[in-house]
Amino acid sequence: MASKILSVDDSRTIRLIVGRALRPYDCVLCEAGNGEEGLAVAAREKPDLILLDVTMPVMDGVTMLTKLKEDPALKTIPVIMLTAESGRDNVIHIARLGVRDYLVKPFKEDQLIEKLSRNLTLKKKEAVPAPVPAPAAAPQA
Amino acid sequence: MQNGANYQELSRRYGFAPKLESASRLTQLVARQDSDVDEIVKVINKDPALRDRLLRVANPDAENAAEYAIETVEEALLRNGVGCAMVLAMGTPLAMALIKTAQTMFSAKLEMIDRNLAEPLENEHLLGTIGFSGKVAGAVYLRMNLASARIAAAEILGMNPEEMTDANEIRDVVGELLNIMAGNFKSNLCDAGLDCKLQPPEVKRSTDSQSPVVPGGGLERMAFRTDKAHIFVDVTANPWSSED
């Protein structure tokens, strides 16, 4: 079964880059633009993993993570932080809330795939065989 | 169990890149206000890039190092004040974050250049602004000509520049570039004890190439180029304008 990943980031650019990195893999990508939307999508879709930004409007990533960990139905979903913030106190606070991993922006797509692969099984999509051209009709004599 | 893990352990576990020690140390020293100037001089002298930038700022009319009237870090600090070192210390993580972002996200080798050698900004250009407030107040400004912004956005999204017809998409990419830079910059400030919060970035077209300087603060102006695009970054900050 395809893995389901939820990307919570207010930047469409980051969500596009995550989508591009995951394109070769058999997985379903759900998206949310802030923590509040992220919680709603997480409750509805029950993703296998969440990629979470910190600084977002409406509800930031730390608040979303706190609420997620308080919810018995969602607290076991692994979370990977995907953020430009790597300040000491922030990282320690977030680690204590319980994240599986932490990737600091800017990131390379293969770094993202490596971190994801440590936490779920990412299968490459099977190559679709190229259509075999129909044999040309024999010319009429 | 992650409770009790210290930052070094977490950095190793998460595979963080090492931080710029000289910039962090300098930010800590200047933020203290009562630091010994000799200590500040020592930190700057240990980092050739920081030293070069300070001397360039102290010799604004010189075309090159041979023309410098002020040749030592001590003289430069006397002339420009310790606050100038703070703004330079802040500029370093910003510059490094931008260079790394360009390298990582659009495989471009970004080079920091003398602002006077950069292709001039067009009258109408794209301006991204992100403010920060707390124990230090200020703003980061990122400017790009419209063509440069389109090229950078296309590279980051893996598209051809001709396909980048959506102005909102270009603005979003520039906003994210600014976000990444400012996030790294903020982490450096917080690690130095200058806790602050970033405001949401704003990206718009502008015809004004002057960056307003925060009251009582300094301004660091930087320029960067790749073979295809020029990027201008200004940072203004006042580390002694605590809101707390």
Instruction: Give the pLDDT confidence of A30-40 residue by residue, as tens digits.
Output: 999 999 999 99
Read off the pLDDT band of A21 (50, 70, 90).
very high
Judge contact between B98 and B233, C-beta under 8 A: yes
Read off the pLDDT band of A75 (50, 70, 90).
very high
- Specify the higher pLDDT residue, B200 or A28: A28
Q: In angstroms, rounded to a whole number, what is the distance separating the alpha carbons of residues A5 and A55? A: 20
Judge contact between A14 and A40, C-beta under 8 A: no
**What was the pLDDT predicted at B110?**
87
B179·A96 Cβ contact <8 A: no
pLDDT greater than 70 at residue B3: no
Residues in B touching A82 (Cβ below 8 Å): none
Residue B52's CB: how many other CB atoms inside 10 A? 11
Residues in B touching A17 (Cβ below 8 Å): 105, 156-157
Instruction: Give the pLDDT confidence of B130-149 residue by residue, as tens digits.
Output: 999 988 888 999 999 999 89
pLDDT greater than 50 at residue A29: yes
Judge contact between A21 and B149, C-beta under 8 A: no
Which of the residue ranges A24-28, A132-136, B33-37 would you say has the lowest mean pLDDT?
Answer: A132-136
Report phi then psi at A105, rounded to 5: -75, 145
Highest mean pLDDT among A92-101, B27-36, B46-55: A92-101
Q: Which residue, among B235, B234, B210, B230, has the nearest Cα to B146 in the 3D structure?
A: B230
Instruction: Give the pLDDT confidence of B112-124 residue by residue, as tens digits.
Output: 887 777 777 878 9
Q: How far is CA A121 from the centre of its chain?
A: 13
pLDDT greater than 80 at residue A88: yes
Read off the pLDDT band of A140 (50, 70, 90).
low
B180·A84 Cβ contact <8 A: yes
The letter for the amino acid at B138 is: G
Q: In angstroms, rounded to a whole number, what is the distance separating the alpha carbons of residues A18 and A85? A: 18
The CATH superfamily holding the domain A3-119 is Response regulator (3.40.50.2300)
- Specify the higher pLDDT residue, A101 or B82: A101
* DSSP assignment of B195-233: -EEEPPPEEEEES--PPPPPTT-EEEEEEEE-SS-EEEE
Q: How many contacts, defined by CB atoms under 8 Å, are there between A and B?
A: 90
Residues of B with CB under 8 A from a CB of A: 2-3, 5-7, 10-11, 14, 16-17, 97, 100-101, 104-105, 156-158, 169, 172-173, 175-176, 179-184, 186-188, 190-191, 195, 198, 200
Read off the pLDDT band of A136 (50, 70, 90).
low
Highest mean pLDDT among A4-8, A106-110, B132-136: A4-8
Highest mean pLDDT among A70-79, B35-44, B114-123: A70-79
Q: In angstroms, rounded to a whole number, what is the distance separating the alpha carbons of residues A41 and B9? A: 32
Q: Give the mean pLDDT of B28-35.
A: 74
Q: Give the mean pLDDT of B2-6.
A: 62
Model confidence, pTM: 0.83
Q: Looking at the domain B20-238, which fold is it?
A: Chemotaxis protein chec (3.40.1550)
Read off the pLDDT band of B105 (50, 70, 90).
confident
Residues in A touching B10 (Cβ below 8 Å): 91-92, 95, 102
Read off the pLDDT band of A41 (50, 70, 90).
very high
A86·B187 Cβ contact <8 A: yes
* DSSP assignment of B11-32: HHHHTPPPP-HHHHHHHHHHHT
pLDDT greater than 60 at residue A42: yes
What average pLDDT is seen over chain B?
Answer: 84
pLDDT greater than 50 at residue A141: no
pLDDT greater than 70 at residue B243: no
Report phi then psi at A66, rounded to 5: -60, -45
Q: In angstroms, rounded to a whole number, what is the distance separating the alpha carbons of residues B47 and B24? A: 12
B190·A88 Cβ contact <8 A: yes
* DSSP assignment of B132-149: EEESSEEEEEEEEEHHHH
List chain A domain ranges.
Answer: 3-119
Burial of A32 (0-12, 13-18, 19+ CB in 10 A): buried
- Residues 6 or more apart from B44 whose CB is under 8 A from it? B22, B26, B50, B51, B54, B73, B85
The letter for the amino acid at B217 is: G
Read off the pLDDT band of A95 (50, 70, 90).
very high
pLDDT greater than 60 at residue B4: no
Question: C-alpha dihedral over B204, B210, B216, B221, to 10 degrees?
Answer: 100
